[in-house]
Chains A and B, each alone.
Chain A
Amino acid sequence: MVVRCEDVWREVSNYLDGELDPQLRAAVEEHVRGCRQCTAVVNGTRNVVELYGDERMLQIPLGFSRRLQQRLGQGVGRSPGTAFGWMMALGFAALLLITFEVGNSNRSLAELRSEMARTSAHIPPELVVVAETDGRIFHVPGCRFILDKDHLKTMTSAEALRLGYAPCVRCLRKYLAETHDLKTEDETAGLETGEPEQ
């Protein structure tokens, strides 16, 4: 089989992707060996594929990840369609109420807590926890499920609950296990609990 320059140009993409049958591939390579122009086309096209295929060409703007997480956090809080989603939506609405309450309100804590916080009675009140500045969840320091580690507030769990944060169901699962049946499936599957790395 003999191929011409036009054939090489037409097949160069398939050639680089390894999609030519052996006979055609051999013919292309034979032609390229003796043709400077086609050598240039093949080499140049290969360079294009390699350069653009480099991960460094997939750059994201500074702060992109953080902004995406923030947007996602807002969207997750308003997600419809699931019982948990509605519970979180109610909890978020409760948090909004808490935010606009007078700071020195004399209401009982039981009335101010979100649905999730209401089930957190077993968390030691003096346990040191962290919460994201713009978040709704409090965690054990170092929890792997903290989304924004650059903007954290440290407080006790009692204060976190008072402020309306809900406990992380992963790093604080042992305190919640009595009220939520969280342990069996994930522990059986050997999944991470969110406990901080040692």
Chain B
Amino acid sequence: MPETTASLENAGDSWNEQTLIRRVREGDHELFYELIRPYERRVYAATLAILRDEADAEDAAQEAVLKAFKNIRQFRGEARFSTWLIQIAINEARMRRRKQQAVTMEPIVDQPDEEGRYIPRDFADWREIPSETLERAEVRERLAEALNSVGQKYREVFILRDMQQLSIEETAKVLGISIPSVKTRLLRARLMLRDLLAPGLGGGWSKVRGAV
């Protein structure tokens, strides 16, 4: 990835972002990549969460970024730019998914009644997972597999809230659902993932831990 100018991550304040937005609107179109660069991982993660195919996700991410550029004048600043951008990515991925008409089998870990209780299936205690484990590709892959096996409506909420660090309110707005629904789905996603990854199930996590 090429080095950039005053990176938003280094500058770390929305003033620079607002300046970039203004300049892009005024015609400095080459600055648009600088504007979205801090968020390209998030855009890709959002499309991958829905499409679950790397090539499709990348194509959707590119298209979403282009749409954001073409519609930059419609960004009113009522929400964070990143939230607006992620929303475009989510919409793009959802549209593609509908077009693909993929048959997706809802995994059996899904509970049919969203409002019902979720009962954890495993009570093995994994008190601490060293963060260094994430340096291992197989660990990340195992976590990604677990996430992919969770139902889409839970996966979307989890990606936005726990991976992209959107607030509950932002997540609700991006997905077009209520705040209580976000909280319910988030709870289920977290508990389902915990069950998928808990050592007591003898699943991939216990094998990975053995490898670590």
Contact = CB atoms under 8 A, between A and B. Distances in A.
Chain A interface residue bracket vs B: 35 or more
A44 B126 contact: yes
A56 B135 contact: yes
Contact of B186 (A13, A61, A84): A13
A192 interface: yes
A41 B126 contact: no
B185 to A, nearest CB: 10
Nearest to B188: A13
**Main DSSP-derived SS at the B contact region:** helix
Given A59-B140, A75-B69, A137 B30 contact: yes
B45 interface: yes
Given A45-B194, A75-B66, A192-B5, A12 B29 contact: no
A68 B61 contact: yes
A106 to B, nearest CB: 33
A88 B69 CA distance: 15
Interface stretch (B89-97, B101-109, B113-121): B113-121
Interface residues of B, number: 65
B143 A51 contact: yes
B123 A64 contact: no
Nearest to A49: B162
Interface stretch (A121-129, A145-153, A155-163): A145-153
Main secondary structure of the interface of A (DSSP, over half): helix
A109 interface: no
**Which of B126, B191, B198 is most buried by chain A, counting CB atoms within 10 A of its CB?**
B191
Contacts, number: 171
Contacts of B40: 60, 64-65, 68
Interface in B60-106: 61-62, 65-66, 69-70, 73
Interface string A56-84: 11111100111111011001100111111
Contacts of B70: 75, 79-81
Interface in A130-157: 137, 144-150
A61 B62 contact: no
Given A57-B140, A191-B19, A43 B58 contact: no
B211 to A, nearest CB: 16
Given A48-B197, A60-B40, A81-B73, 12 more contacts: A10-B117, A43-B126, A51-B143, A52-B147, A61-B54, A65-B1, A65-B40, A68-B62, A71-B62, A72-B66, A75-B66, A145-B30
Interface of A: 6, 9-10, 12-14, 16-17, 36-37, 39-41, 43-45, 47-61, 64-69, 71-72, 75-76, 79-85, 88, 137, 144-150, 169, 189, 191-192, 194
7 contacts: A64-B44, A64-B58, A72-B32, A79-B70, A144-B5, A147-B33, A189-B19
The 9 A-B pairs of least Cβ separation, nearest first, read A84-B27, A144-B5, A13-B187, A40-B125, A65-B1, A58-B41, A44-B194, A75-B66, A37-B123
